[in-house]
Amino acid sequence: MKLRPHHLLCIQKYTGKGYDAPFAANMEKIIRRLQADPGQLIQLVEGRDDVCAACPHMVDGRCASEEKVNRMDRGVLSACARSYGQADSWRALADAAGKRIFQTKKSEEICGDCQWIELCRATREGWIDGKEE
């Protein structure tokens, strides 16, 4: 599976609210796959990923908010000491994002201006192995 780095956060906090029905259906499919096999390899990619694939904000292969989401992606890579192109298990990547970003509240710095931030603040810490942390 390919994920852009900031989606390590969005996936852990997802509560069923998405941009539209196809987006939500795709997100739920991705989450079921990760919960069924937390050891599966995730490649960290720059730009469009498996979540973006069903997003209505994808225009000509590019996110309508590309600059903003690229900044979030770089923030996640830096906080988790990772680089684009690297691959690791979902468990390891989600754990790093949870410990280094959610638990330190670095999320406020990385994605405090995201439209979903209030929902994230009100949501449980996140999940990694198919259960809530």
Please report, as ranges, the residues that interact with ligand SF4 according to CB under 6 A. Answer: 51-52, 55, 57-58, 63, 65, 69
- List, in sequence order, the alpha helices (H) in the chain: 7-13, 21-36, 66-80, 90-97, 107-111, 117-121
CA pseudo-torsion sign 41, 43, 50, 72: positive
Nearest-approach distance from CB 14 to ligand SF4, in angstroms: 11
Using the minimum distance from each CB to ligand SF4, give the nearer residue, 20 or 103: 20
CB 44 within 8 A of CB 77: yes
Nearer to ligand SF4, 41 or 59 (CB): 59
**For ligand SF4, the closer CB: 19 or 99:** 19
Calpha distance 74→115 (Å, rounded): 18
Least CB distance from residue 48 to ligand SF4, whole Å? 7
Q: By the 8 A CB rule, do 45 and 85 touch?
A: yes
Please report how close the Cβ of residue 15 comes to ligand SF4 at its closest, in angstroms: 16
Q: How far is the CB of 132 from ligand SF4 (least distance, A)?
A: 23
Q: Which is nearer to ligand SF4, 9 or 79 (CB)?
A: 9
